[in-house]
Structure 1
Amino acid sequence: VVKTPRPALHAHGAHAVMDFEDFVCDAAEGGAWMLNTLSSTVAAHGVHIVHEKLVELPRVAGESPPGFTTVCLLDESHATAHCYSDRGWLAIDIFTCGGCDPRPIAADIRRQVETRWGARCVQFEVHGRFLHR
């Protein structure tokens, strides 16, 4: 059997994901700081924000652990952060489409998180998205 090579996949977008330990904070303070950091950093990189939201958790007792979730909806896709403040866990993702590379945005956010909170990045990966031939 002769296999015909398939054309290489191309990515129209990219998705940067980061995980941190030791992001110990008051959920309200940390959430407000994170939303401001996401918003100002993506805007500084020329990305257009269409909506932003911060939700402090738990909204209802027992519904979820203490922390926050933030989102910046972008015309290119999204930037989010989710935190379990009692455990010091923080997960951030930056997903962009087209010509905007999320790597420098994520790297800037990482530096700010590490500098302000002393958190340690334990994962930083970038994946191609909207794969096509």
Structure 2
Amino acid sequence: MSGVFQAAGTHLLADLHGIPAGPLQDAAGIEALLRGAAGAAGARILHGHFHAFGPEQGVTGVLLLAESHISIHTWPEAGFAAVDIFMCGAALPQLALEHIERALLPRTRQVRAVARGPA
């Protein structure tokens, strides 16, 4: 081994704050949003599962991708969404995050990017 690290993919962890409650309560809307994000990134969707916790409560959802996954957990009462995007291969996770942010319009965001792969 040459000692050079080549990441198998990029893992984005995004905390999105200051989002209106409405979109964060809508499981069908969140699913459509993540499916659009996967498409924007050039990822292939294998399976998805989304769950609404009840009226005026949050949503949790995940898309399993050939390139890994996108997940989201929302707290409408706090205007907060936690987004997790891990993609490898030719998929572009930053484009997925940009798609999500354009729709949810957070006032502030904190994003951590982690290179993932064999050591």
Relative to the length of structure 1, the TM-score reads 0.75
Unaligned runs of 5+ in 1: 1-5, 59-65
1:37: how far off? 0.7
Match in the other structure for 1:122: 109
1:29: how far off? 4.4
Instruction: State the distance in 2 between where 1:75 and 1:34 align.
Output: 20
Change (3 A) 1:121 1:34: farther
Unaligned runs of 5+ in 2: none
| Letter paired with 2:111 | F
Instruction: State the distance in 2 between where 1:94 and 1:121 align.
Output: 18
| Letter paired with 1:128 | A
1:107: how far off? 1.6
| Correspondence for 1:46 among 39, 42, 49 | 42
3-state SS of paired residue (2:67): coil
| Letter paired with 2:114 | H
Task: Give the conservation status (yes or no) of the 8 Å contact 2:18–2:107.
Answer: yes
Q: Say whether 1:33 aligns with 2:29.
A: yes
Match in the other structure for 1:95: 86
What is the 5 A alignment of 1:74-93? Answer: 74-93=65-84
1:108: how far off? 2.0
1:24: how far off? 3.3
| Correspondence for 1:24 among 20, 25, 39 | 20
3-state SS of paired residue (2:77): coil
Relative to the length of structure 2, the TM-score reads 0.83
Instruction: State the distance in 1 between where 2:15 and 2:104 align.
Output: 11
- Alignment size in residue pairs: 117
Task: Give the conservation status (yes or no) of the 8 Å contact 2:24–2:74.
Answer: no
Match in the other structure for 2:99: 108
Q: Which consecutive segments of 4 or more residues in structure 1 shift more than 6 A?
A: none
| Letter paired with 2:58 | G
